[in-house]
Structure 1
């Protein structure tokens, strides 16, 4: 076993243990108190009908979604950072969250309250909006021949995201009170209130796309090399970049559609993984997924206990952690 493999085994074990610990803490937290032994008994099928409803249909759904959303956003950020060759790229900064959010808001705005929304509608419009936004930002950066440059992408992302937020503000003003409450909670980022149907949809998307990304990890590694070298190794740059871009956008947009506009996970998780294990996607992708899942399930748990019995929306907790970390990365890169 090489040194890198040993390091990967150690870090993976540590973050898997942290993920399982905070997952259990998350499921243990709620208005109804269960001892740890009793909670384990409920999870193993020994609870009453009421206890099963509380644990399985509310707590467990929320905890599993937190892990899946964290993993999806983190993997999406890892792909963006590989494609752009810089550590400041991520779904939030490249307009994916904002584009997905605008698509969802337009759908909510146009749909009568009494009609309801099909469960697949939010992910579909979120993906379309995210693809348009991400494509526009990459096009703006490429016009300056700086598609791989940090500041061209960041500035283009900030510019387009500001425009999208202006449109969102306009839509919010026009919303009815019922739709406003729904949209406002979703914009901040909130995992509560979903069902096992959402888990199945998101789980299928995250697992399938994660496997596709890992199966193509060699190509993703090659794309970080100089273009001439990548072409010499037989990689079609445009087709490969477009394919990975679409996969990353679908991952992030689906997570945003279900969990709301949660930022910074896609920036922080892959950055931590690379600092620990290097840039090889063989190790970065699985470690990034573990870190992302752990970060979001921990943030959601913190939001539930920090001002208990009230809750702080998970998007606020993530922003409080992620914003200072982003400034640290930016200052380090400028230095």
Structure 2
């Protein structure tokens, strides 16, 4: 049973993160190359703005803010699942190669599909899911031993190797492509939020709408999976079945996010750790905070990045990496590569 004090603390953090997300969105609505004064936000939101103001807000700013927040939530939840399933604090869809697998599938789709990617907004998450699923399956098989079961550190090392190899494959694929398509893939590799129209919002939102409740239902299983295998087996948990279902959910969430934001790493690494640091390791407590933290982190990174340098800004993936890479190194030393 969860103590009442922890429940109250969780609610305070949830309210605070909701407020931070709303505050960051308000900042993002008015901050950008095209001017939209903050005193005109409310009139524009309720339909009293000029054509220019409504175009900037509803066609440019608002869909990007929503897609960034949703993608950050998906990456954070995916990272939380992976860390529980693998019992490894270094697990993240970016570091273990899932994002790169989705990226290769999107690259092939973009280079060889007869139509532009923008016309395939609803198909792209499925394309990314197939690539991510194939990659995750191969990594899982290679990291799994018949006698030892899933080896967390081996999974991380194999995933890092796959990530590097698949990134190289993407470079080979685009080496002879058209300049316009090369520019797109280069932005994707850097973690640039590119799916910034309403169709991409509606393409990603259903994945979260289905998978967030599913993961919440599986929160008790995640608690058990994060413990020793003997304990989980002792209480009757079907390890392979639960791992497979949760890994599929993690892959789907990462693929949905990757399909619109590019190869962004470290959000799925940092958000679960920060959530656990403030509320504890119990899944029912940290999962909602992790979800909101992921959305807010990517939202802040993209808002800062797109306004940092004219004209196109700095990709959100670069901003996140500036924070996430030192944090990853810290965790690496903390765990001593074998914990």
Using the size of structure 1 for normalisation, the TM-score is 0.94
Would the aligned equivalents of 2:78 and 2:268 in 1 still touch at CA under 8 Å? Answer: yes
* 1:287-326: CA deviation from partner (whole Å, max 9, x where unpaired): 0011000000000111022224551111111111111111
Aligned length: 335
Partner residue, 1:297: 299
Structure 2 residue matching 1:298: 3-state secondary structure: helix
Matches within 5 A, 1:29-40: 29-40=31-42
Which residues in structure 2 correspond to 1:149-228 (within 5 Å)? 149-192=151-194, 194-228=196-230
Matches within 5 A, 1:1-335: 2-112=4-114, 117-143=119-145, 148-192=150-194, 194-308=196-310, 310-334=312-336
SS in 2 for 1:86: coil
Unaligned segments of structure 1, at least 5 residues: none
Per the normalisation by structure 2, the TM-score is: 0.93
For residues 49 and 236 of structure 1, the distance between their equivalents in structure 2, rounded to whole angstroms, comes to 57
What is the CA–CA distance in structure 2 between the aligned matches of 1:169 and 1:74, rounded to whole Å? 27
Residue pair 1:12, 1:287 contacting (<8 A) in 2 also: yes
Unaligned runs of 5+ in 2: none
Cα distance, 1:116 vs structure 2: 6.8
Q: SS of 1:47's equivalent? A: coil
Structure 1, residues 139-174: CA drift from partner, whole Å, max 9, x if none? 221138666544312211112222212211210212
CA offset at residue 132 of structure 1? Answer: 1.1
Secondary structure of 2:47 counterpart: helix
Compared CA separation, residues 126 and 250, structure 1 to 2 (3 A): same
Question: Measured at CA, do residues 126 and 227 of structure 1 come closer, stay the same or move farther in structure 2, by a change above 3 Å?
Answer: same
Aligned mates of 1:251, 1:7 — CA distance in 2? 27
Cα offset, 1:63, TM superposition: 0.3
The farther-off stretch of 305-314 and 68-77 is: 305-314
What displacement does 1:107 show? 1.2
Q: Map Cα deviations across residues 66-105 of structure 1 (whole Å, 9 max, x no partner).
A: 1000000000000000101111001011211010001111
Larger mean Cα displacement after TM superposition, 219-228 or 98-107: 219-228
What is the Cα deviation at residue 232 of structure 1?
3.1
For residues 269 and 148 of structure 1, the distance between their equivalents in structure 2, rounded to whole angstroms, comes to 24
Q: Distance in 2 between matches of 1:144 and 1:133?
A: 20
User: SS in structure 1 opposite 2:120?
Assistant: coil
